[in-house]
Amino acid sequence: MAKIKTPPVIELHNLKKRFGIGDAEHFALDGMDLTIKKGEFIAIMGPSGCGKTTLLNILGLLDHSTDGEYKLDGQEVSTLGPRRQARIRSQQIGFIFQSFNLISRLSVIENVALPLTYKGVSHTKRLELASDMLRTFHLGEREYYMPYQLSGGQTQRVAIARALVNEPSIILADEPTGNLDSRSSHIIMEELSDLHKRGNTIIMVTHNPRLTSYASRVITMLDGRVDTDTMVLPQLTTTPAKRPLGTTTKKKAKRKKPAKAKKVTS
Amino acid sequence: MRFLLLNHVQNAYQSLRSNRLRSYLTMLGVTIGVASITTILALSAGASKVVSDQVDALGGNIAVIRPGASTTDPLSGLTQPKTQRDFAASTLTETDLTAVSRIAHVTQAAPLMILGGSVRADSTAPDNTPIVASTPELATISNLKVESGQFLDTRVSPDTVVIGTQLSIDVFGTEQSIGKTLTVRGKSFTVIGVLKRMNDPINYNQVDFDSALIMSLESGKLLNQGIAQIQQINIRSDSITNLDQIIIDINKQLIANHAGEHDFSVLSGEQISRPTNQLFYAIAGVTAAVAAISLLVGGIGIMNIMLVSVAERTREIGIRKALGATNSDIASQFIIESLAIGIGGGIGGYIIGYLLAFGISTFLTFDPVINWQIAVVALGVSTITGTFFGLYPAFRAARKDPIDSLREYN
């Protein structure tokens, strides 16, 4: 597959993250090794407290590892200054949160335009880009709503629009559907898998095993380490490159579920 | 960064507007401080402008000799008000006057001997009526115009006086008092002239000529056991360019007269116009202290509100950081907000300060001055307050950990 040849975007070697000191010392990440290639859609599963969110925070440069290597695009992250890291967050990484994290006193379009601010885009241009982005998520007519006027699914779509407006190469999603009903979850997941097909790298933390069907690779974590790492056959995501989200997901779901079931039982 | 500045301003505007009452109350502290500063500056500039205008009107070639070495320490003026002039014997003598008037380029020299005492005629003049003993030169040096009658000259009898319009009304009940007789310290004098109303009680002679009585120096000496108690000598030079040389000559001459003692001061131009009223200094000082305290309190108010604002928006800070805001982006967002409070309060204070100054000036004889210096001070002070007290909250906001911030409840 093309993906296998592409260079790794993210490389982790023996990554450790310690919380607390002395008796309270606890490693949320305990020697994590992981290589993520461009264009992968990774679902990270695992019990509570296994370090999924910590991993995501470190990948997103919001947190720093205690020990080990983290190379982003071949560059060791710990050597970068805070300003440079903020630049990377602004230009290469898009965050999607479980609790959406829209700023409540800003309108939908202003929320979506917010990341562009820190990229130095002018006001008019920002609103233009944000408006375009919202339209691709079918929220064009909601631009001047306030976040509290939207349903959960719409709010998360706004959040995804915001994560994408800077055209980041990596999207980090921390339980993006955790606060949504299954119908909205489905819509959100299809949006994500659509992004994946457009070539974005997506790393998603989830508790819901059914959602892993959208991913190209499923990683389960346990006690701060990778427990299992399963590649989902990737042909499904590449063959119907038109715009057939519905069909793809169904096929994917069929093939994936047994594979996953095996993993869990083993 | 250039785009961000505008963005931060919009942001600050939005967030201040969303907590309107809170923002206004916070601004109020700065407003009060700046208002009092503006009032003080406007009024004191007005007061000194009155005197400097007089000096300028006279051609600017006036110098003034006063007893006592000039102090540059403003505190001594506050702690020992009026000691030298009112209670100590003046160090200036008639010999000095003659010596000074002989110096080259000095065209005129007029002594100012101010006496206390009652002035009576049909009715008694107010207690504080200044009785000035001087020479005829005073009229030209101090630009005194006579409404009716004549000013003192060398030929008139020593028993004649010139009085101010207000004094004439006070003791005779009319402005037409030529030829009438009044009693000063039990001695009778005939009025030979009434001065034109001047309406400036603040002047470099420190005498309100509208309610003053002017007699010849000889008569003044007679009322004072034959001793001339000269509080001030006014000097006029033939041109401004010679004034500096004259001042040097006067200093030399008087030091020689006083046996090497520098117990007098020669003032010219700006120095004369510096408000010499000690009470005015005291009031200005106290008000300045109040202004400083209210600015401090206002600043602490800003800091307080900004800390609350930072705490309230912890989650927003986390989100912004996750979306790529640098620490300095966050810091400047909050600094600009506190700056907006400061400047808003400053502009309000400037306006209120002038309203206050014009209100007060209706009870005073001079008007407040509007100039750019006061505007700069008002704006500068509020800017500094806003920035200084916003620094710490902004710094705290910038240092917030994004993960902890995101975990925070909204």
Has residue B203 got a pLDDT over 50? yes
A89 contact B CB<8A? yes
B402 contact A CB<8A? yes
CA pair distance A58, B85, nearest whole angstrom = 79
| Sign of torsion over alpha carbons B402, B403, B408, B410 | positive
**In which residue are the tokens 């070697």 written?**
A13
CA pair distance A176, A158, nearest whole angstrom = 12
What are the backbone angles phi and psi of residue A70, rounded to the nearest 5°? Answer: -135, 110
Measured in residues, chain B has a length of 410
CB B303 within 8 A of CB B387: no
CA pair distance B176, B165, nearest whole angstrom = 9
Has residue B74 got a pLDDT over 60? no
**Which of B3, B13, B317, B323 best probes binding to A when mutated, by most A CB atoms within 10 angstroms?**
B323
**Which of A 68-87 lie inside 8 A of B, CB atoms?**
82-83, 86-87
At residue B152 the predicted structure's pLDDT band, cuts being 50, 70 and 90, is confident
The pLDDT score that the predictor gives to residue B274 is 58
A124's CB contacts (< 8 A; 6+ apart) are none
Radius of gyration, CA atoms only, chain B? 30
Strand, coil or helix: what is A13? Answer: strand
Instruction: Give B-chain residues touching A57 at CB under 8 angstroms.
Output: 403
A60's CB contacts (< 8 A; 6+ apart) are A89, A93, A95, A172, B322
Strands (E), A20-175: 26-37, 41-45, 67-72, 75-76, 93-96, 170-174
Å between B331 CA and nearest CA of chain A: 13
Has residue B182 got a pLDDT over 50? yes
CA pair distance A46, B396, nearest whole angstrom = 35
Strand, coil or helix: what is B195? Answer: strand
> Across residues B276-284, what is the average pLDDT?
64
* Helix extents (H) in A104-244: 108-117, 123-136, 152-164, 182-197, 235-238
Greater pLDDT, B154 or A144: A144
Strands A217-222 and A225-231: antiparallel
CA pair distance A237, A5, nearest whole angstrom = 17
The pLDDT score that the predictor gives to residue B216 is 87
At residue A240 the predicted structure's pLDDT band, cuts being 50, 70 and 90, is very low
At residue B306 the predicted structure's pLDDT band, cuts being 50, 70 and 90, is very high
Q: Which of A104, A105, A115 sits opposite B323 (nearest CB)?
A: A115
ipTM above 0.95, yes or no: no
A216 contact B CB<8A? no
CB A33 within 8 A of CB A27: no
CA pair distance A113, B10, nearest whole angstrom = 14
Beta bridge partner(s), residue B162? B193, B214
Strand, coil or helix: what is B89? Answer: coil
The pLDDT score that the predictor gives to residue B394 is 95
A38 contact B CB<8A? no
B346's CB contacts (< 8 A; 6+ apart) are B30, B31, B34, B378, B379, B381, B382, B383, B385, B386
Interface touch A97/B15, C-beta < 8 Å: no
Structural domains of chain A, with CATH: 16-85+99-265 (3.40.50.300)
A62 contact B CB<8A? yes
B384 contact A CB<8A? no
Least confident piece of the model among A252-261, B86-95, B320-329: A252-261
Instruction: Give A-chain residues touching B319 at CB under 8 angstroms.
Output: 101-103, 114
Q: Which of B3, B321, B322 sits opposite A120 (nearest CB)?
A: B3
- Tokens coding A100: 């959406």
- Tokens coding A90: 């602004």
Q: Which of A151-160, A200-209, B267-276, B385-394 has the highest mean pLDDT?
A: B385-394
Helix (H) or strand (E) holding A230: strand A225-231
User: What's the DSSP call for residue A68?
Assistant: E
Q: Which of B319, B328, B403 sits opposite A57 (nearest CB)?
A: B403
A154 contact B CB<8A? no
A103 contact B CB<8A? yes
CB B177 within 8 A of CB B194: yes
Nearest CA in chain B to A59: B322
Strands A75-76 and B119-120: unpaired
What is the pLDDT of chain B when averaged over all its residues?
Answer: 83
At residue A6 the predicted structure's pLDDT band, cuts being 50, 70 and 90, is low
Cβ count near A209 (within 10 Å): 17
Least confident piece of the model among B39-43, B77-81, B228-232, B405-409: B77-81
Cβ count near A178 (within 10 Å): 16
Q: Rounded to 5 degrees, what angle do the CA atoms B380, B383, B388 make?
A: 120
Cβ count near B310 (within 10 Å): 22
Instruction: Give A-chain residues touching B324 at CB under 8 angstroms.
Output: 86-87, 89-91, 115, 118-119, 166
Beta bridge partner(s), residue A19? A26
B285, B233, B265: which is closest to B97 by C-alpha? Answer: B233
The pLDDT score that the predictor gives to residue B58 is 65
B72's CB contacts (< 8 A; 6+ apart) are none
Beta bridge partner(s), residue A8? A37
Least confident piece of the model among A100-104, B50-54, B169-173: B50-54
- Give residue B219's identity as a one-letter amino acid code: S
Q: Determine if residue A81 is left, alpha or beta; phi over 0 gives left, psi from -120 to 50 gives alpha, anything else beta.
A: beta
B320 contact A CB<8A? yes
Q: Which of A62, A103, A166 sits opposite B402 (nearest CB)?
A: A62
> Across residues A255-266, what is the average pLDDT?
44
Helix (H) or strand (E) holding A247: helix A245-265
Judged on CB neighbours under 10 Å (0-12, 13-18, 19+), A25 is exposed
| SS3 per residue for B291-314 | HHHHHHHHHHHHHHHHHHHHHHCH
Least confident piece of the model among A48-62, B215-229, B303-317: B215-229
B213, B148, B156, B154: which is closest to B187 by C-alpha? Answer: B213
CA pair distance A109, A107, nearest whole angstrom = 6
The pLDDT score that the predictor gives to residue A129 is 93
At residue B385 the predicted structure's pLDDT band, cuts being 50, 70 and 90, is very high
Sheet holding A8-19, edge to edge: A26-37, A8-19, A67-72, A75-76
Q: Rounded to 5 degrees, what angle do the CA atoms B156, B160, B163 make?
A: 120
Interface touch A118/B18, C-beta < 8 Å: no
Å between B396 CA and nearest CA of chain A: 16
Instruction: Give B-chain residues touching A59 at CB under 8 angstroms.
Output: none
